[in-house]
Structure 1
Amino acid sequence: MFEMLMPKLRVKTVFDIDLEGLYAQGYRGIITDLDNTLVGAKAPNATPELVAWFEKVKQTGFKLVIVSNNNMNRVSMFATPLDIEFIHAARKPSNSSFRRAIRMMELTPEETIMVGDQMLTDVLGGNRLGLHTVLVLPISIHDEGVMTRFNRRLERIALTRLRKKGLWLEEEKKND
């Protein structure tokens, strides 16, 4: 079970993802979480650096969909000005929102990357469908909701087990 929480790749931020390398490997779509993956949970807008990253994603040839457990107002206010498709109230790690995003991009799971900051929602959900999962460090843990704080506690337990099994090596976190 704990192996399903293992991402294929760990990086500090979305800016550390090798978009060209992943595209060369045949990936064509990115599903990304919103809160604490792209911006802090309370940040209403994309930073200029993030807007440039979205442009790089598109220029590389990727399709992009934001999949968030947050409400319509929060996700729409962020995604609509950027002309990015989104799914709100996704109920991750439920398969339905991931499948819907893959259909929206007209891709297959094998062509799709899932980027997020939570093992119990983003990574687990992506791994269950065979997506290439990328775990980023959370941008800010100070503004997180009750469920996310609870999930973080469960993640710490899972990390302890994964380390004991030799599956989670600390040097993997360092991706400079």
Structure 2
Amino acid sequence: MFKLLVPCRVVNTLFEINFAELRQRGMQGIVFDLDNTIIPWSSPDICPEMLQWLKDLPAQDFRLCLVSNNGKERVKKIAFQCGVPFVAQARKPLRRGFRQAARVMGLSPDVVAVVGDQLFTDVLGGNRLGMFTIWVKPLTTQEFIGTKITRQFEKLAVRLLKATGRL
């Protein structure tokens, strides 16, 4: 179980992601979590800097998709601003949402990277399908109450992973 919680990479911000490394590893698509990964939790819009950064990624030969446990209308609004497809109500860490994202991008899961701020949803879900997982620090500490509870388990998991040398 702990093996599935270990991300392939850990970054402080999205801007630290090494796209040359992703290309070198054969990655062709990137799945992004929404809340606290590309926008602050409950924010209705994406900041201009992040929006431009996302819009520049297809020029680097990456297909993109947003995958979120949020409802369709919220995810659709952000995805429309970014000009990317999306999977809402993904029920992460279940594989269904990640498979659907790979299918939407026309790719197999083994050439897709997953970027998200939560070990128990984004990293676990991506690792279950053999995707390249990137764990990023959350943008804010404001979160859904369920996520706040999960973060406590995440802190424990991080301590155990560090103690065993896996993180």
| Band the TM-score falls in, shorter-chain normalisation | over 0.9
Residue in structure 1 matched with residue 10 of structure 2 by the alignment: 10
User: In terms of mean alpha carbon deviation, does 15-24 or 128-137 score higher?
Assistant: 15-24
- The Cα of 1:76 is off from its aligned counterpart by 1.3
Alignment TM-score, normalising by the size of structure 1 = 0.91
Contact 1:93 1:124 in 2 (8 A): yes
Shift of 1:77: 1.6
1:174 is matched with none
8 Å CA contact retained: 1:5, 1:123: yes
| Residue pairs, 1:27-106, within 5 angstroms | 27-106=27-106
Under a length normalisation based on structure 2, what TM-score does the superposition of the two structures give?
0.96
Aligned length: 167
CA drift at 1:82: 2.3
RMSD (Å), alpha carbons: 1.1
8 A contact 2:39–2:139 mirrored in 1: yes
CA contact (8 A) 2:117 2:138 kept: yes
Q: CA–CA distance in 2 between the matches of 1:18 and 1:2?
A: 25
Per-residue displacement from partner, 1:144-167 (whole Å, max 9, x unpaired)? 112111110110111121122122
Q: Classify the secondary structure of the residue corresponding to 2:162.
A: helix
Aligned residue identity for 1:158: A
- Cα distance per residue 1:33-91 (max 9 Å; x no partner): 00000010122112111122112211101100000001112111211132211111110
Gaps of 5+ in 1: 169-176
- The CA distance in 1 between the partners of 2:66 and 2:9, in whole Å, is 19
Q: Which aligned pairs between 1:128-143 and structure 2 lie closer than 5 A?
A: 128-142=128-142
Conserved 8 A contact 2:55-2:82: no
Bigger mean CA deviation after superposition, 131-140 or 101-110: 101-110
SS of 1:64's equivalent in the other structure is strand
Specify the alignment match of 1:167 in structure 2: 166
Which residue does 2:122 correspond to in 1?
122
Percent of aligned pairs with the same amino acid: 40
SS in 1 for 2:34: coil
